[in-house]
Amino acid sequence: MNKDLSFYKEKIDEIKIELSKVIIWQESLIKSLLIALLSGGHIILEWVPWLAKTLSIQTLSKTLDLDFSRISFTPDLLPWDLLWWQIYNQSESKFYTKKWPIFTNFLLADEINRAPAKVQSALLEAMQEKMITIADETFKLDKPFLVLATQNPIEQEWTYPLPEAQLDRFMLKTIITYPTKEQEIQIMKISNEENKINKVLSKNDLIDLQSKINDDVFVDDKIYNYVSDIIFATRDATNFKIEKISDYISFWVSPRASISLIKAAKVNAFLNWRNYVVPEDIKELAYDVLRHRIGLSFEALWEDISADDIIKIILDNVIVP
């Protein structure tokens, strides 16, 4: 690994230390945040309330000295509550545009499935295009721009499930569970402590690191072929002798999943002190990258088969290079 990436790897380790001051048990969340951040992707989280989602992303923003915004999605939310508002100045006979929470670096979209489809669409379009058009003006979103959207798996009343095409725009879907007893004891011990979070990297350093990971981490053709086999196993399971999953899948995984899996694997290789991707990187990230992209059939729901079950069958049967 070259000197530049070595320098950044040490900085990422420092960020992990800063995060560990206030986040006790969310190793999987920290890892997902770093992978999405360094690859330019977005995350959708599935977890119940009060599990430190706001604290996690807010602390990460402090280590990078970046802006953070949080918005609670509700059924009465309108697109301009998220994006912009035009204010008329009577003395000048002119409209001025007031920018709203989306103009930030880190955006926590809390319980995104509670907002109407128009609001969801406005956010997801901004995530994809990295810009917003208001009347005849176009505003570019700041770099980096990371959306952490949450869904509560328990409360489903008055919700608007995200369509499959919109879910596909999230690089990762991470599932967070409750802490263990030992972890909860540790949480109680530090709950009243005031920990100063130190800045570790600048915005320009972060953008440079994103570029270096994308350009310098090597992916062999065998890895590309391995990822392709995993994706195609969701589309034509008979070629991989796993016909049984065909009845459990209602729609196939898109090419965006392949791109996301490679990008995430590059970051994972970097976080593990390598400048090349290995099959273990793909296996490790396949669940987070694919679970929200696999459509479950009625038969799968009837038999209590989850997307993770299908991914495990695929990984167990696709030949590893």
What does residue 280 show for φ and ψ, rounded to 5 degrees? -65, -30
CATH superfamily for domain 25-189 = P-loop containing nucleotide triphosphate hydrolases (3.40.50.300)
First to last CA, the chain: 23
- pLDDT computed for residue 198 by the predictor: 86
DSSP state, residue 243: G
Q: Kindly give, in sequence order, each residue whose CB lies less than 8 Å from that of residue 223, ignoring residues fewer than 6 positions away.
A: 262, 265, 277, 278, 279, 282, 321
Question: pLDDT digits over 251-265, tens only?
Answer: 888 899 999 999 999
What integer pLDDT is reported at residue 87 of this predicted model? 67
Contact by Cβ (8 Å): 29, 37: no
Which two tokens mark 54? Answer: 């706001």
Q: Please check whether residue 198 is in contact with residue 63, taking contact to mean a CB–CB distance below 8 angstroms.
A: yes
The CATH code that applies to domain 217-317 is 1.10.8.80
pLDDT tens sequence across 172-223:
999 887 888 888 888 887 777 677 888 898 889 999 999 999 999 999 999 9
For residue 141, how many C-alpha atoms fall within 13 Å in the half-sphere facing its CB?
27
pLDDT given for residue 88 in this prediction: 60
d(CA 109, CA 84) in angstroms, rounded, equals 16
Give start-end residues of each CATH 3.40.50.300 domain in the chain: 25-189
Q: Which residues of the chain have pLDDT under 70?
A: 1-3, 48-51, 84-89, 93-99, 134-135, 155-158, 193
Q: Among candidates 261, 234, 238, 239, which has minimal Cα distance to 250?
A: 234
**Which residues belong to CATH 1.10.8.80 in the chain?**
217-317
pLDDT of residue 81: 76
Q: Are 273 and 213 in contact (CB under 8 A)?
A: no
Gap between the Cα atoms of 77 and 202, Å rounded: 34
Q: What is the pLDDT of residues 210-222, one digit of tens each?
A: 999 999 999 999 9
Is the entire prediction scored with pTM above 0.75? yes
